[in-house]
């Protein structure tokens, strides 16, 4: 487990790097914003503490020197302020300004009465108290400057100006920077670990399933996935293992049938050889003909065995591959959108969560596909009541990214109150198949202003679902053939020709409805008619 945890070779995977760096960049951006907003708040808090101390000191001076101010006893004011400065090493100057413009400036070991007010004094004498960090030209350094009006018996007598050293301020700011530095350093480590674990958690099961799928494609049916998780991916892995086991059983059954046929061929050949020996005496010319017919018979039997094996395995794998192709493409688009969002600096928690939810929904859909194919021809499937509008919306979500990437507008007019009895997952496959074909047709014809419209309405005791595109329609010479099995107009390797055939079977055989298609003015118009639930 420890070796697996520190295995950084996974960084070579492109998808891992995209998820890892996107997630890590998002968290680091959040930490940066935290520091960006924390700094001014902390600085403001430090200044407020200094302001509180300065305000208390100024009130104390004004209270002690109140009588001296009223009596114009400048000596007492100067002596008191000098004593205050000597007892507080952080104070540079205390200046008392009377309304008559008399100025008493007191320092540690000196005092004076300037004739004119400096620009600094004037800038701080307003209606209310003022404070800030400013540069004092006389001291040639930055100071914390505080100014407060002196009010005696409700009359504004003058102002008190106090200049403080920035020792405490600098010390507190240094502590704050150290805190932010250590916080950032620790956060980087934590973010790295979290990003690594999240990206690995998402990617490892995908890599495992890909590895197993490649082995199955090589006809290795002894391999199994080792994914043990209590979520949809774990369910998908279990279903995948079940599918491989069934394929393995089918392969063994085909091999057994092949052996039986071989044995029968051998027995038949032996019989023919015996008969040929008996006939050899009657007609030697028949010997060559019997040998030729026997060889042809054996060749035909071998060909039938080969075709039977390939048809059985090919149909099963082809059906599953056809149903998986759209969810896999959609899952690829989800991952691509995460990468695009990261490049555009639009990746956030909401976008990431939406992408993860879509990915989970797609993998769940892929997992259910195996059960749907396995149960399709079973007569004991249980029908259930379901909301048509909700199933259609859920199906649209699977193709939403693909439609958006190809600039296709998908419009809906759905009656959300319609409930029918049937098989929601199979009905979803029908809608998914028609929408996928409409998308392919719009892309192939390079249409501008691409649109697909889905309507769901009631008509008496029936429910009508219509799907219309503006791709130009289906050629008239093949419009009657599109529901035939294995009929396709797509290039080789891009379609099996069973999608619409299965859709027709689901609607008409399993759900007792009707499905047909016709060409309208701008494109194909599919109509599905079902019986609504009357209960």
Q: What is the pLDDT of residues 209-247, one digit of tens each?
A: 777 777 777 777 777 777 777 777 777 778 778 887 888
Averaged pLDDT, 399-412: 84
Residue 55 has pLDDT above 80, yes or no: yes
Averaged pLDDT, 120-146: 86
CATH code 3.30.565.10 region(s) in the chain: 377-531
- All residues at 6 or more sequence positions from 427 whose CB lies less than 8 Å from its CB, including other chains: 386, 388, 391, 506, 507, 511
Under CATH, domain 1-200 is a member of which superfamily? PAS domain (3.30.450.20)
Name the band, by pLDDT with cuts 50, 70 and 90, for residue 10: low
Check residue 493 and give its pLDDT: 44
Question: What digits encode the pLDDT tens for the residues 151-204?
Answer: 887 788 888 999 998 888 888 878 877 887 787 788 777 777 776 776 667 667
Check residue 3 and give its pLDDT: 45
Name the band, by pLDDT with cuts 50, 70 and 90, for residue 454: very high
Check residue 462 and give its pLDDT: 92
Higher pLDDT, 18 or 524: 524
Check residue 488 and give its pLDDT: 65
Q: Please answer whether residues 106 and 93 qualify as being in contact, where contact means their C-beta atoms are separated by less than 8 angstroms.
A: yes
Averaged pLDDT, 272-285: 72
CATH code 3.30.450.20 region(s) in the chain: 1-200
Q: Please answer whether residues 266 and 397 qualify as being in contact, where contact means their C-beta atoms are separated by less than 8 angstroms.
A: no
Q: For 377-531, give the CATH class.
A: alpha beta
Question: CA–CA separation, 485 vs 499, rounded Å?
Answer: 8
**Which of 20-24, 40-44, 285-289 has the highest mean predicted lDDT (pLDDT)?**
40-44
Strands (E), 348-485: 384-387, 408-414, 419-422, 450-459, 462-469
Strands 408-414 and 450-459: parallel
Check residue 463 and give its pLDDT: 95
Check residue 432 and give its pLDDT: 84
Q: What is the DSSP letter of 125?
A: -
Check residue 369 and give its pLDDT: 62
Maximum distance among all Cα pairs of the chain, rounded to whole angstroms:
159
Averaged pLDDT, 116-145: 85
Higher pLDDT, 504 or 289: 504
Higher pLDDT, 99 or 471: 471
Ranges 217-221, 293-297, 389-393, 505-509: which has the least confidence: 293-297
Question: CA–CA separation, 391 vs 506, rounded Å?
Answer: 15
Q: What is the pTM of this model?
A: 0.35
Question: CA–CA separation, 331 vs 236, rounded Å?
Answer: 14
Percent of the chain with pLDDT over 90: 9
Q: Please answer whether residues 92 and 164 qualify as being in contact, where contact means their C-beta atoms are separated by less than 8 angstroms.
A: yes
Check residue 108 and give its pLDDT: 82
Closest CA to 502 of 448, 430, 423, 444: 430
Higher pLDDT, 397 or 461: 461
Question: What digits encode the pLDDT tens for the residues 15-39?
Answer: 666 766 776 777 777 777 877 777 7
Question: What digits encode the pLDDT tens for the residues 69-107?
Answer: 877 788 888 888 888 888 888 888 988 888 766 888 888
Name the band, by pLDDT with cuts 50, 70 and 90, for residue 525: very high
């Amino acid at each position: 487990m420890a070796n697996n945890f520190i295995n950084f070779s996974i960084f070579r995977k492109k998808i891992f790097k995209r998820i890892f760096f996107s997630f890590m960049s998002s968290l680091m951006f959040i930490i940066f914003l935290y520091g960006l907003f924390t700094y001014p708040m902390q600085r403001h808090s430090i200044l407020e503490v200094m302001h509180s101390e300065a305000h208390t000191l100024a009130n104390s001076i004004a209270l002690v020197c109140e009588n001296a101010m009223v009596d114009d006893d400048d000596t007492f004011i100067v002596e008191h302020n000098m004593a205050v400065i000597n007892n507080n090493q952080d104070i540079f100057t205390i200046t008392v300004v009377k309304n008559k413009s008399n100025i008493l400036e007191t320092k540690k070991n000196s005092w004076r009465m300037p004739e004119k007010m400096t620009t600094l004094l004037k800038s701080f004498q307003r209606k209310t108290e003022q404070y800030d960090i400013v540069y004092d030209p006389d001291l040639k350094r930055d100071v914390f400057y505080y100014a407060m009006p002196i009010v005696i018996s409700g009359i504004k007598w003058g102002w008190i100006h106090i200049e403080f050293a920035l020792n405490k301020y600098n010390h507190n700011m240094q502590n704050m920077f150290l805190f932010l530095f250590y916080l950032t350093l620790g956060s980087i480590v934590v973010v790295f670990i979290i990003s690594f674990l999240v990206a690995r958690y998402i990617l490892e099961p995908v890599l495992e399933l890909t590895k197993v799928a490649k082995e199955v494609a090589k006809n290795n049916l002894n391999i199994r996935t080792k994914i043990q998780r209590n979520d949809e991916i774990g369910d998908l892995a279990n279903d995948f293992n079940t599918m491989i086991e069934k394929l393995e059983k089918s392969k063994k059954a085909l091999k057994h049938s092949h052996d039986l046929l071989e044995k029968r061929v051998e027995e038949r050949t032996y019989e023919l050889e015996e008969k040929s020996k008996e006939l050899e005496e009657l007609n030697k010319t028949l010997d060559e003909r019997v040998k030729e017919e026997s060889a042809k018979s054996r060749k035909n039997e071998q060909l039938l065995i080969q075709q039977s094996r390939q048809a059985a395995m090919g149909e099963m794998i082809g059906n599953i591959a056809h149903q998986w192709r759209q969810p896999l493409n959609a899952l690829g688009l989800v991952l691509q959108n995460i990468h695009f969002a990261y490049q555009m600096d639009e990746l956030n928690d909401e976008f990431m969560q939406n992408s993860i939810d879509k990915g989970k929904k797609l993998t769940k859909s892929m997992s259910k596909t195996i059960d749907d194919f396995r149960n399709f021809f079973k007569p004991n499937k249980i029908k259930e009541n379901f909301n048509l509008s909700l199933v259609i919306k859920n199906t649209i979500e699977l193709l939403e990214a693909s439609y958006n990437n190809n600039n296709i507008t998908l419009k809906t007019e759905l009656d959300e109150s319609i409930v029918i009895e049937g098989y929601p997952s199979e009905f979803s496959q029908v809608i998914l198949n028609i929408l996928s074909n409409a998308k392919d047709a719009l892309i192939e014809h390079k249409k501008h202003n691409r649109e697909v419209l889905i309507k769901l309405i009631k008509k008496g005791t029936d429910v009508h679902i219509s799907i219309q595109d503006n791709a130009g329609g289906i050629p008239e010479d093949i419009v009657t053939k599109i529901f035939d099995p294995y009929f396709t107009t797509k290039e080789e390797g891009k379609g099996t020709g069973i999608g619409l055939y299965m859709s027709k079977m689901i609607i008409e055989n399993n759900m007792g409805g009707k499905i047909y298609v016709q060409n309208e003015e701008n494109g194909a118009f599919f109509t599905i008619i079902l019986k609504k639930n009357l209960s």
